[in-house]
Structures are given as C-alpha cells and as structure tokens.
Amino acid sequence: KKRESSLGVRHQYSRVLMQMLGPALRRTTTLAMTVTTLNMAAYWFKTIWLPTYFHEIRGLSLGDSAWLLLMDQIGSLVGYICFGFSSDYFGRRPSFTAFSTIKAIGLLMVTLGWSLGGGYTWTIFGFMFMVGFGEGNWGCIGPLLNEVFPTSVRAAALGIIYNLSRGVEFLAPVVIAWVAARSPFGAGIGLAAPFALLAGIAVWALPETKGVRLVEKTRAIA
C-alpha cells in the first residue's frame, strides 16, 4: 500500500510538471520561477554573508554586528505588515517593485556605500531597517503565484517553484566567494541589490490578476 501511495504521488507530480511545462503554462512557469529565484537570491546573498562582512571586513564586534542584524529583523516585521496595506491600496506589483527598490538601496548603502553612510552610525542602522523592510515583498509571492496558475496545479506549482528556487540558492555562497576573490568583499554581497531590482522588474511580466475571479483566470490559462 505504501509503495502504491508513493507511486501515486510521483505520478501526480509528474502530471503537474508536464502541465506546468506545457504550451499553456510554460511562460507563466518560467516567469514565476524567475521572480522567485531573483528575490530569493537577494535574500540569501544578504543572510549568509552579512554577519561575516560586518565582523571581518568592517571590524565590528559580534555584539555590534548582532544589533545591525536585529535592525534588519525589526525592519522585516514592519515590512511584512506594511506590504499588506500597500498591496491592498496600490496593488501587488507596484508594491513588490517599490519594496524591492527599498531593499536594493539599503543593501547598496551597507556594502558599497558603507563609508558614505558614515560607518557604524545610526544612518547605517536606518539602511539596515530598509533592507529588512524591503523583505516584506515576500508577502506577495504566495498569493501572486497562486493566482497565476489554474486550480489543477495551483498548490503543487507553488511548492515546486519555491523549493526549486531554494535549491538554486546553493550557488549563492560560491558566487560571492568568487566575486570577493577578485574585488572587495562588500561588492559580492552588493550583488544582492541588482537581484532585488531585477525581481521588481520581472514581476510585471506575470499575468495580471487584479479584478479577475480565480475561476475565470483558470479557464483563461488552462
């Protein structure tokens, strides 16, 4: 029975993948994967390397580094809350792009613009808050991907795209290490900024779902 159940699950996922890669959904799948991967790259570039960057490159103590990272987390909390209101008022795609831009500016200032920002000052704390605040755009990914796929693949598509995007991110430490060996370490982490901006641009290529009932959207793209 367990073997039959396992085979059934594999068959179901194979069917979903075939449908996602079929002519009707291939473009949507590619765009959804692109947006999610770019946004996740910006997140993991920052999350993996910022502690090392603050401590070893900027010479901060572990305690001082922790305070900056705490500011990032506070910004994230506020960003997630604010994104919901912004999404309802301005729409998901404009809000996603705006939050991505805010995150990119913050990332550039705490890496390449460290000296311009005055070093370990309240200004840098403000930019770290911006980095976290911009992470609020993750509040858009779930609803956005759910609405662009038909009911027959919706739940599986979200899981497949999200986890495949996470799998790609194992390259993030490798990429930053490669860049850091050829330029300042901050430049490697600063790569997160263009990834964030590209995600904010790519989201506009996804199908528009504003004001469209899901059942109608399903028929339109199935």
Condensed to tens digits (0 to 9), the pLDDT of residues 82-116 reads 999 998 888 888 999 999 999 999 999 998 888 88
Query: CA 217 to CA 203: how far, in whole Å?
Result: 18
Percent of the chain topping pLDDT 90: 35
pLDDT grade for 221, boundaries at 50, 70 and 90: very low
pLDDT at 43: 87
Return the higher-pLDDT residue of 44 and 97: 97
Which residue, 159, 149, 198, is CA-closest to 27?
A: 149
Query: CA 107 to CA 193: how far, in whole Å?
Result: 6
> What value does the mean pLDDT take over residues 159-170?
82
Q: How many CB atoms lie within 10 A of CB 205?
A: 14
pLDDT surpassing 50 at residue 66:
yes
Query: CA 16 to CA 12: how far, in whole Å?
Result: 6
pLDDT at 4: 43
pLDDT grade for 156, boundaries at 50, 70 and 90: confident
Burial of 183 (0-12, 13-18, 19+ CB in 10 A): exposed
What token pair was written down for 23? 């002519």
The one-letter amino acid code at 117 reads G
pLDDT at 215: 54
90: which residues sit within 8 A by CB, 6+ positions away? 98
Percent of the chain topping pLDDT 70: 82
Is the Cβ–Cβ distance between 37 and 165 less than 8 Å? yes
pLDDT surpassing 90 at residue 78:
yes
The one-letter amino acid code at 132 reads G
Cα–Cα–Cα angle for 60, 62, 67, nearest 5°? 85
Contacts 24+ apart (CB under 8 A), 17-24: 17/160, 19/152, 19/153, 20/149, 20/153, 20/157, 20/160, 24/221, 24/222
pLDDT in tens, 1-34: 444 445 445 557 678 788 888 888 889 889 999 9
